[in-house]
């Protein structure tokens, strides 16, 4: 069994509390990086581009589909409950950045980019 975030063996950090855990899919140290309200802001044209993510680091061995099934309800809940956003983008592919320059003239407020990992949202230059 391997951690769904870092991809390393789950029992690398074996403790008494994790030995008998039924739903053990992520290391405690990896779970400590999970935050529902983490975001970073950058200038984007006339407005700000806010990058909102659940995990700051994604790994090559991360099981993104499983993580979205386990943690994605936080993303969906945030999208549904916030009435101040005019455009919502869920970024799960680096190629989706090509459309950001086309969206900029349509904005009447700040742009929010939403994703599981910060790596999808910050690796390319969106700072214009």
Number of domains in the chain: 1
Question: Would you say residue 11 lies in a domain?
Answer: no
What is the model's pLDDT at position 74?
84
What is the model's pLDDT at position 105?
80
Question: Would you say residue 18 lies in a domain?
Answer: no
The helix/strand/coil state of 33 is coil
Tell me if 66 sits within 8 A of 6, measured CB to CB: no
Domain that holds residue 93: 35-122
Whole-number Å distance between alpha carbons of 36 and 52: 9
Residue 45: other Cβ atoms inside 10 A: 14
Question: Would you say residue 26 lies in a domain?
Answer: no
Q: How far is CA 79 from the centre of its chain?
A: 13
Span 49-86, pLDDT tens digits = 888 888 887 778 888 888 888 888 888 887 788 777 66
Tell me if 82 sits within 8 A of 88, measured CB to CB: no
Whole-number Å distance between alpha carbons of 3 and 61: 9
What is the model's pLDDT at position 89?
65
Question: Would you say residue 59 lies in a domain?
Answer: yes
Residue 10: other Cβ atoms inside 10 A: 18
Question: Would you say residue 28 lies in a domain?
Answer: no
Nearest Cα to Cα of residue 128 among 104, 112, 106: 104
Question: Would you say residue 45 lies in a domain?
Answer: yes
Question: Would you say residue 15 lies in a domain?
Answer: no
Which tokens belong to 33?
């990086």
Q: Whole-structure pTM over 0.85, yes or no?
A: no
What is the model's pLDDT at position 125?
45
Owner of token pair 């549904």: 80
């Amino acid at each position: 069994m391997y951690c769904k975030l870092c991809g390393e063996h789950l029992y690398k950090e074996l403790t008494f509390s994790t030995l008998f855990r039924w739903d053990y899919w992520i290391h405690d140290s990896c779970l400590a990086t999970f935050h529902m309200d983490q975001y970073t802001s950058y200038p984007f044209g006339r407005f700000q581009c806010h990058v909102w993510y659940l995990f700051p680091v994604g790994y090559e061995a991360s099981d993104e589909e499983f993580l979205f099934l386990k943690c994605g309800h936080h993303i969906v809940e945030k999208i549904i409950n916030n009435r101040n956003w005019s455009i919502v983008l869920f970024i799960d592919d680096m190629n989706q950045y090509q459309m950001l320059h086309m969206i900029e003239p349509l904005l009447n407020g700040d742009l929010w980019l939403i994703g599981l990992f910060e790596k999808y949202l910050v690796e390319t230059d969106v700072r214009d």
